[in-house]
């Protein structure tokens, strides 16, 4: 006879299996429906291309992440000291960390594979969302026009730059996670002993971490370098695009930070030979100083003391760039402007010949009329007139110009005691008609 605990575990397994089968069935049903729909409209290759790119991208990124993490976890074990000194705070008694090591050590390879596999799987699933960026890069074309700042074809910003940024972001994430896991692994293997201070950092662990920091610095250099091109999407200035501060402060700062990051990477790599803590600390300090000074302080000073006192003069060139690029984007760069000056010799005969047109000349301004409607036609405080539109209606057998506005409900203007769920969802659910007035007539009191 099965024990109660065994029956409970079997029940949990059965329920989990049923839920998994149901999830799989619903997923396959949705996928099969998509296949039928794409086949019906004759674009099945679109579906297969999308799915193939998603799976391919997810597998490549996930496998890279998993292998990178596994290698770093193995390296952390290989460079560990042959003897682990007991921790000072547990001398004379059993160390819980040693007990944990004894428990995990027989299954260490399985644990490494599990950690690398789970993180790689999750990273691959996230990366599959970038399938469109990859397909755009594969099918990239030139626009035949270049941007005024870097003189790069516009196609570079549409097809190539997004992919480069995505690759750099995933590389940064991969090396950052590797660095953090490596710290944990070195602590587990006794290569890092915080209680011992600087002497507690094993030279092999320092060399390993220096390599990862060097990789992070190189990736950061790439992010700074390609971040220069992203200045064309800046919203810091008067208009969208690279502004005076972006071009004269942020652009040199990003170039300098890219160089500093490369120098930092060299210092980290050199530290593999010397295995000293001073080189990594110096590289990090150098990078932090220039990040603050060149990346934040200097652009802020330029914006505050050079641009803001004479913004129109400083931003004129970049406003003109924005206008020109907007005209080219909408196909308006070749528009010709022709002036039609108004005539002032209107005669009474011409007015009689165009009586219908003259009688429809609008004298009411929609902006003014909106305020008048709110004062005269709101009925309740919670009714509002968001805007006033112009239309034409047949009135008295002829077309007349009319201004009209819908009387809409504003829930925010309801009295505090009336904002119950029932009132907001069942009673106060819609407006109350509309208000209309002739565009060229008024009452004896001057109202529409």
**Position 108 in a domain:** no
Judge whether 383 and 410 are in contact, CB under 8 Å.
Answer: yes
* One domain, residues 267 and 361: no
335: left (phi over 0), alpha (psi -120 to 50) or beta: beta
* One domain, residues 293 and 151: yes
**Position 425 in a domain:** yes
**pLDDT number for residue 427:** 81
**Position 98 in a domain:** no
* One domain, residues 157 and 282: yes
**Position 95 in a domain:** no
Residue with tokens 């060097």: 214
* One domain, residues 298 and 151: yes
**pLDDT number for residue 85:** 58
**Position 314 in a domain:** no
* One domain, residues 263 and 365: no
Question: Which residue segment(s) compose the domain that 233 sits in?
Answer: 140-309
**pLDDT number for residue 195:** 67
**Helices 44-78, 161-189: crossing angle, 10 deg rounding:** 30
* One domain, residues 304 and 379: no
**pLDDT number for residue 83:** 60
**Position 334 in a domain:** no
Domains contained in the chain, number: 2
* One domain, residues 273 and 372: no
**Position 182 in a domain:** yes
Q: Indicate the pTM of the whole model.
A: 0.72
* One domain, residues 300 and 371: no
**pLDDT number for residue 1:** 46
* One domain, residues 362 and 305: no
* One domain, residues 371 and 305: no
* One domain, residues 280 and 155: yes
* One domain, residues 291 and 425: no
Per residue of the chain (448 residues), give pLDDT as tens: 455 667 778 888 888 899 999 988 988 888 889 889 989 899 899 999 999 999 999 999 999 999 999 999 999 988 888 766 555 555 555 556 666 667 777 788 898 999 999 999 999 999 999 999 999 999 999 998 999 999 999 999 999 999 999 999 999 999 999 999 999 998 888 787 776 655 667 888 888 999 999 999 999 999 999 999 999 999 888 888 899 999 999 999 999 999 999 999 998 888 888 777 778 888 888 888 988 988 889 998 998 998 889 988 999 999 999 999 998 888 888 888 889 888 778 888 888 888 777 777 888 888 888 888 888 888 888 888 889 999 988 888 888 889 999 999 888 788 877 788 887 788 888 888 999 998 888 888 888 8
Which of 244, 274, 309 is a domain's end point? Answer: 309
Q: What is the 3-state secondary structure (H, E, C) of the chain?
A: CCCHHHHHHHHHHHHHHHHHHHHHHHHHHHHHHHHHHHHHCCCHHHHHHHHHHHHHHHHHHHHHHHHHHHHHHHHHHHCCCCCCCCCHHHCCCCCHHHHHHHHHHHHHHHHHHHHHHHHHHHHHHHHHHHHHHHHHHHCCCCCCCECCCCCCEHHHHHHHHHHHHHHHHHHHHHHHHHHHHHHHHHHHHCCECHHHCHHHECHHHHHHHHHHHHHHHHHHHHHHHHHCHHHHHCCCCCCCCCCHHHHHHHHHHHHHHHHHHHHHHHHHHHHHHHCCCHHHHHHHHHHHHHHHHHHHHHHHHHHHHHHHHHHHHHHHHHHHHHHHHHHHHCCCCCCCCCCCCCCCCCCHHHHHHCHHHHHCCCCCCHHHHHHHHHHHHCCCCCEECCCCEEEEEEECCEEEEEEEEECEECHHHCCHHHCCHHHHHHHCCCCCCEEEEECCCCCCCCCC
């Amino acid at each position: 006879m099965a024990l109660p605990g065994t029956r409970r575990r079997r029940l949990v397994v059965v329920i989990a299996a049923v839920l998994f089968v149901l999830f799989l069935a619903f997923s396959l049903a949705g996928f099969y429906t998509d296949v039928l729909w794409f086949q019906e409209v004759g674009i099945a290759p679109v579906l297969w291309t999308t799915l193939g790119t998603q799976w391919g991208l997810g597998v490549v990124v996930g496998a890279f992440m998993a292998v990178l993490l596994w290698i770093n976890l193995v390296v952390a074990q290989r460079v560990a000291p042959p003897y682990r000194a007991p921790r000072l705070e547990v001398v004379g008694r059993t160390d819980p960390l040693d007990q944990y090591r004894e428990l995990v050590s027989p299954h260490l390879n399985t644990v490494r594979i599990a950690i690398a596999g789970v993180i790689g799987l999750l990273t691959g699933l996230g990366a599959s969302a970038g399938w469109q960026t990859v397909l755009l890069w594969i099918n990239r074309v030139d626009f035949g026009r270049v941007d005024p700042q870097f003189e790069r074809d516009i196609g570079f910003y549409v097809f190539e730059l997004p992919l480069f940024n995505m690759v750099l972001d995933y590389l940064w994430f991969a090396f950052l996670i590797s660095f953090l896991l490596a710290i944990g692994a070195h602590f587990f293997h006794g290569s890092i002993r915080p209680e011992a201070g600087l002497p507690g950092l094993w030279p092999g662990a320092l060399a390993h971490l220096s390599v990862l920091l060097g990789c992070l610095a190189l990736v950061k250099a790439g992010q700074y370098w390609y971040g220069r091109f992203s200045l064309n999407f800046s919203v810091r200035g008067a208009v969208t695009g690279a502004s005076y501060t972006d071009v004269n402060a942020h652009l040199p700062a990003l170039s300098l930070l890219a160089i500093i990051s490369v120098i930092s990477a060299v210092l980290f790599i050199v530290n593999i030979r010397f295995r000293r803590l001073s080189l990594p600390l110096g590289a990090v300090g150098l990078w932090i100083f220039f990040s603050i000074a060149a990346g934040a302080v200097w652009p802020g000073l330029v914006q505050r003391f050079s641009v803001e006192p004479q913004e129109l003069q400083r931003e004129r060139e970049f406003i003109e760039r924005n206008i020109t690029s907007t005209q080219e984007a909408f196909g308006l760069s070749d528009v010709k402007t022709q002036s039609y000056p108004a005539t002032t010799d209107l005669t009474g005969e011409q007015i009689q010949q165009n009586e219908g047109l003259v009688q429809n000349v609008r004298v009411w301004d929609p902006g003014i009329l909106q305020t008048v409607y709110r004062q005269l036609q709101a009925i309740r405080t919670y009714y509002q007139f968001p805007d006033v539109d112009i239309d034409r209606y047949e009135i008295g057998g002829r077309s007349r110009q009319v201004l009209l506005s819908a009387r809409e409900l504003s829930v925010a203007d309801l009295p505090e005691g009336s904002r119950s769920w029932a009132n907001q969802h069942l009673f106060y659910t819609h407006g109350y008609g509309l208000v209309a007035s002739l565009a060229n007539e008024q009452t004896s009191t001057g109202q529409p």
